[in-house]
Structure 1
Amino acid sequence: MTLSFFDQFISPMFLGIPLMALAIMVPWIMFPTPSSRWMNNRMLTLQNWFINLFTKQLLLPLNTTGHKWALIFASLMIFLISLNMLGLLPYTFTPTTQLSLNMGLAVPLWLATVIIGMRNQPTHSLGHLLPEGTPVLLIPVLIIIETISLFIRPIALGVRLTANLTAGHLLIQLIATAAFVLMPLMPTVALLTTILLFLLTLLEVAVAMIQAYVFVLLLSLYLQENV
């Protein structure tokens, strides 16, 4: 039976039970839990250093009010990086290749930033829909365009993460299939293809980390406009 390249993105099932929840819970189990000791081990020290560095860098342009989101942003960043990186391992599933999961993360967080802006400073938030000094004839058109761009933001967040990870996984599978087919026919070309596959895998590791950072960074920029 010929399998499709897109079969790797189907949510895994075992005895009729979807394993999506298990794939989402696994990253949290793998991280070391903080201890009550004064001195942490190397893994906890490295983890705390990374979280502090990322949080300081992300919250630098935000007001003091936006610092309440530090825990959410740090947790979301680690969660997305873990899911993206674990999905590169053999015989694993990447939940972030599912648009439903990414939209489930993007829409509530984006909506929370909008609600905060409308509640705390409604005049400033609505002012983004109409730039200052706009000609009277262009006011209705600009309001419609800015409103559409506002509602496209969560879609762009979810689609960007899904498309980048899906494209990378597909490309890796295509090149791996080509190397496997060319091995008995043209070993030299297969070896070059394998080297290309190794380099592409390193690039995909970088993409997995960068896309998680971009997702959280854009959320922080949306929050910055509303605090």
Structure 2
Amino acid sequence: MTLNLFDQFMSPVFLGIPLIALAIFLPWTIFPTPTQLWLNNRLLSIQTWFLGQFTLQLLLPLSQRGHKWALLFTSLMIFLITVNLLGLLPYTFTPTTQLSLSMGFAVPLWLATVIVGMRNQPTHSLAHFLPEGTPIPLIPVLIIIETISLFIRPLALGVRLTANLTAGHLLMHLVATATFVLLTLTPPVAVLTGILLLLFTLLEIAVAMIQAYVFVLLLSLYLQENI
């Protein structure tokens, strides 16, 4: 029995094995492997079409130098979508509700974009801290503000992903609990809350996919500023 609403977001351990590791590695096994045949089945065709369309949309704002990041961004987006959607199933665990995992993705990738900018075009990257034509009295203030905005980017990436999924899971848990309690008290109201739970589930599926896309899209925009 859940003693606390937030207990569902604790990383479970079974026989000394953290189940978050299984939740991270097992989703890769559900993707079909491309065959050597000339004609693929429908599932492989849909998968290939989706990956091609996403990669095309991802590379639109990027210059030619940023296309080498396409494989990394596409793999990351597919992984986040799969983990988020599998976490909606009963008796499962969503690793992205752990802030440590989200920050573990956000900080290294954000830092990689900053390092790329400092290595390839240091003058252009440092120019973001002080726009041209800034009055002299505002120079220290603008430098401090731009520095804070730069270092807050990975925090915003990780917290956005975790907070949206956590809020959705909490809302679904509250509505499901209300439906279960009202089922014996007032069945007509329980039917209405059950319909509401179904709508929230559909909304959470959309949120799980959109948040994964937004996470990767923001990373691509950060990369575009530094290449």
Question: TM-score of the superposition, structure 1-length normalised?
Answer: 0.98
State the Cα distance separating 1:2 from its structure 2 match. Answer: 5.8
> 5 Å matches for 1:40-79?
40-79=40-79
Question: TM-score of the superposition, structure 2-length normalised?
Answer: 0.98
User: CA offsets, 1:24-70, max 9 Å, x none?
Assistant: 01110000011122211111111110011001101111110000000
Percent identical pairs in the alignment equals 78
CA distance in 2, matches of 1:143, 1:132: 12
- Opposite residue 8 of structure 1, the aligned amino acid is Q
CA distance in 1, matches of 2:65, 2:83: 29
CA distance in 1, matches of 2:34, 2:110: 30
- Opposite residue 137 of structure 1, the aligned amino acid is P
Whether 1:23 aligns to 2:23 is: yes
Q: Which runs of 4+ in 1 moved over 2 A?
A: none
State the Cα distance separating 1:6 from its structure 2 match. Answer: 0.9
> 5 Å matches for 1:62-101?
62-101=62-101
Let me know the Cα RMSD of the aligned residues.
0.8
CA distance in 1, matches of 2:185, 2:145: 56
User: CA offsets, 1:88-122, max 9 Å, x none?
Assistant: 00000000000000000000000000000000000
CA distance in 1, matches of 2:19, 2:193: 33
State the Cα distance separating 1:170 from its structure 2 match. Answer: 0.3
CA distance in 2, matches of 1:19, 1:91: 12
State the Cα distance separating 1:19 from its structure 2 match. Answer: 1.3
Please name the residue that 1:32 is paired with: 32
Secondary structure of the residue aligned to 1:183 is: helix
- Opposite residue 49 of structure 2, the aligned amino acid is W
Secondary structure of the residue aligned to 1:134 is: coil
CA distance in 2, matches of 1:195, 1:68: 45
User: CA offsets, 1:152-174, max 9 Å, x none?
Assistant: 00000000000000000000000
The gaps in structure 1 that reach 5 residues or longer are: none
CA distance in 2, matches of 1:111, 1:121: 15
User: CA offsets, 1:5-37, max 9 Å, x none?
Assistant: 111111111112211111101110000011122
Report the more deviating stretch, 34-43 or 163-172: 34-43
Aligned length: 227
CA distance in 2, matches of 1:191, 1:132: 61
